[in-house]
Structure 1
Amino acid sequence: MNDMTPIATTLKDWETDQEVRWCPGCGDYAILKAVQRTLPQIGADPKNTVFVSGIGCSSRFPYYVESYGFHTIHGRAPAFATGIKLANPELDVWLVTGDGDGMSIGGNHTMHVLRRNLNCQIMLFNNEIYGLTKGQYSPTSRLGTPSPSTPLGSVDRPASPCAFALGSGARFVARGYDVSKELPSVLKAAYEHQGAAFIEIFQNCIVYNKDRFDDFTAKAVADEMQLWCTDGQPLLFAKGAKGLALDTATLTLKVVDVVDGDWQAAGVAVHNVKNRGLAHMLVEMPFGAFPMALGVIYDDPRPTFESVVAEERRKASANKDADLGKLLAKGQTWTVEETATHGLMD
């Protein structure tokens, strides 16, 4: 979020003249439209907006948004985003990455941009596969995933992007999926957060990992397997027939039945976006026995990296005159005097 004056735009103002080139049916199309619909709603200005990406299918994103953009190198988008914000803190920076780009080669960069709390929105598209490089398993692929690099099925235990973000010190963590009608509201919440806002977006790879998320996104199971978290509201799902309660004996969450809508009698917990412990439990629930936690899971701001750096610079330069000559002559400096060579060059 920035202090810039909101301006009026439409979805068309955020579309470029570039041909959108993803595989037909790719979930990236839906995410692109969700972002392009969200930007006018938050009053964003194309002249002050920057999209930064690394390498991967998701990283084509900057070509398709009518704003400034950087298509950078594999896993290093957070480093570029940091430089952009330090150079001009007023710019609105969106970072686009994927489960391979952001969780494998760029895992350390993702960690540092989160712990530093750079004021930007980080969208991690998670399709649980390497799409651009033809379908190898990724850090988030499930156990048993068959791929060209794991023909007998992956034996790696998958990483959880949201758990990783929380462990890295992220102050905003949310989840959505490509075709969800609620995705724009999640993006708006991320924009309103001051600091690094991490959004994991489940994205269908139509070619190499088709329908991977149907176990919670398909219409037939969506009500039963999706739990949309809203601050101050009970953690209910299955059209209010079930909820999550805290098992005080084990300090873990459990699924409880709600009779006649009386969620309080069932002991259903109320969501609190500032409760870091609850956020950890929600993102680490074993799927199948529990629903998929979606929406804003954690939101507890603290001072941003660039604001602290700017204040440090202000204090360091207060009541001082800028004099490059004095700076160069200060400290361990010396003068080389001209002397005779004593025949050494003869």
Structure 2
Amino acid sequence: MMGIEVLNRKDFVSATQIKWCRGCGDFNVLKTMQAVLAKTGRTRENSVFISGIGCSSRFPYYLNTYGFHTIHGRAPAIATGVKAVNPDLDVWVITGDGDALSIGGNHFIHAIRRNQDIKILLFNNAVYGLTKGQFSPTSSQGAVSKSSPLGSPDRALRPLALAASADATFIARTSDNDPVHMAMVLEAAANHQGTAVVEILQNCVIFNDQVHEPYNGPKSRDEHLLYLKHDKPLLFGKDQSNALVSDGFGFKVAKANDACCLVHRPTEESAAYAFALASLSYPEFPVPVGIFRQIHRPTFDHVLTEQQSVAVQKNGPGDLKALLQKNSYQRLI
């Protein structure tokens, strides 16, 4: 009896030439994703990567798996169909802040609320990179770009707060410049049963360089990132001297002490806690990274399978040809 083939990262590398700008954060995400696929025992024939439009959406070409480069904002809808007809597939959605949150906002929300077993990786560089530097739904108010020379008039959308409001069962954030942390988050997402939403703070070296540098750069991350760890206090700062404490329906910053420290529990059933974390604004607050929420709930695929089983038990397996002929006859009379 032949053993199961054990794959490594290179087995998931495609022969397609990678066409991203030199220094783009997407390279790190791609390499980390390939390693996670191997580590979690995924197979090439059972993995599907579906993308919309944007620089990140070239992702499926660079993976030696199945893939589908679809249309702007509709990747979650395509992924829903793929997973619904073949629940055994590992289905990933690759999207950007413009693709997912502007034209694709509706599909993004409904994919999440269904809790289908798909993984959504949202690359957030707060700019439209592929179309050459216009402000995006996550650009900060006042951001100067080619389409906002006097500053963006819009308030930025917070992707993970939106995911929490849609009751996502898995919510996480990581950075393209921290592959170890990113691997931990992607591995947890891969093993989650249900919709996993992962925001990746990603750098566009051409049109929005160092947009996340004030808080996730090598010299600033120790001070301004809040690393979320299960059952650990919400502490941050180089010496862990600052803490998030409860303040009504939100948080405030205080000096750390055992009496006031909140403990991070991503398994909290209510999405309110994850929403509050995802709504924190820098520089008043640190930027949380890690797993915000991770709960279990029946998936969309499980519900569909149960409904189909009930229908077959009640009405039999059915005959599509006979049904179509019956409907055609009824229309004639």
Q: Does residue 327 of structure 1 match 2:323?
A: yes
Cα separation, 2, equivalents of 1:321 and 1:282:
48
Sort the Cα spacing of 1:61 and 1:321 in 2 relative to 1 into closer, same or farther, 3 A.
closer
What is the Cα deviation at residue 55 of structure 1? Answer: 0.3
1:199 alignment partner AA: V
CA RMSD of aligned residues (A): 1.8
Q: Does residue 202 of structure 1 match 2:197?
A: no
Show the counterpart of 1:341. Answer: none
Deviates further, 124-133 or 176-185: 176-185
What is the Cα deviation at residue 252 of structure 1? Answer: 2.4
Cα distance per residue 1:278-312 (max 9 Å; x no partner) = 21111111211111011000111211111111110
Question: Which of 79, 82, 92 is residue 81 of structure 1 equivalent to?
Answer: 79
What is the Cα deviation at residue 7 of structure 1? Answer: 5.4
Cα separation, 1, equivalents of 2:86 and 2:331:
38
Q: Which runs of 5+ in 1 are unaligned?
A: 338-346
Cα separation, 2, equivalents of 1:139 and 1:325:
47
Cα separation, 1, equivalents of 2:324 and 2:45:
38
Cα separation, 2, equivalents of 1:25 and 1:208:
12
Question: Which of 18, 42, 46 is residue 48 of structure 1 equivalent to?
Answer: 46
2:244 alignment partner AA: L
Show the counterpart of 2:258. Answer: 264
Cα separation, 2, equivalents of 1:254 and 1:146:
30
Deviates further, 181-190 or 324-333: 324-333
- SS across alignment from 1:97: strand
1:63 alignment partner AA: Y
Question: Which of 309, 312, 316 is residue 307 of structure 2 equivalent to?
Answer: 312
Cα separation, 1, equivalents of 2:317 and 2:40:
41
2:286 alignment partner AA: P
Question: Which of 285, 294, 297 is residue 292 of structure 2 equivalent to?
Answer: 297
Sort the Cα spacing of 1:197 and 1:208 in 2 relative to 1 into closer, same or farther, 3 A.
same
Question: Which of 161, 165, 177 is residue 163 of structure 2 equivalent to?
Answer: 165
Question: Which of 89, 107, 111 is residue 113 of structure 1 equivalent to?
Answer: 111
Give the number of equivalent residue pairs. 326
Cα distance per residue 1:137-191 (max 9 Å; x no partner) = 0000001111111011111001000011111221111000101120000001111
Cα separation, 2, equivalents of 1:84 and 1:336:
35
TM-score (norm 1): 0.90
What is the Cα deviation at residue 264 of structure 1? Answer: 1.4
Cα separation, 1, equivalents of 2:332 and 2:219:
82
CA contact (8 A) 1:7 1:43 kept: no
What is the Cα deviation at residue 323 of structure 1? Answer: 3.3
Q: What are the within-5 Å matches in structure 2 for residues 17-56 of structure 1?
A: 17-56=15-54
CA contact (8 A) 1:6 1:45 kept: no
Cα separation, 1, equivalents of 2:72 and 2:16:
22
CA contact (8 A) 2:164 2:272 kept: no
Question: Which of 176, 184, 189 is residue 178 of structure 1 equivalent to?
Answer: 176
CA contact (8 A) 1:127 1:209 kept: yes
Show the counterpart of 1:141. Answer: 139
Cα distance per residue 1:72-106 (max 9 Å; x no partner) = 00000011101111111000001000000000000
2:240 alignment partner AA: G
TM-score (norm 2): 0.93
Q: Does residue 94 of structure 1 match 2:92?
A: yes
1:20 alignment partner AA: I
What is the Cα deviation at residue 230 of structure 1? Answer: 1.3
Cα separation, 2, equivalents of 1:205 and 1:187:
21
- SS across alignment from 1:47: coil
Cα separation, 1, equivalents of 2:88 and 2:332:
46
CA contact (8 A) 2:115 2:169 kept: yes
Sort the Cα spacing of 1:55 and 1:331 in 2 relative to 1 into closer, same or farther, 3 A.
closer
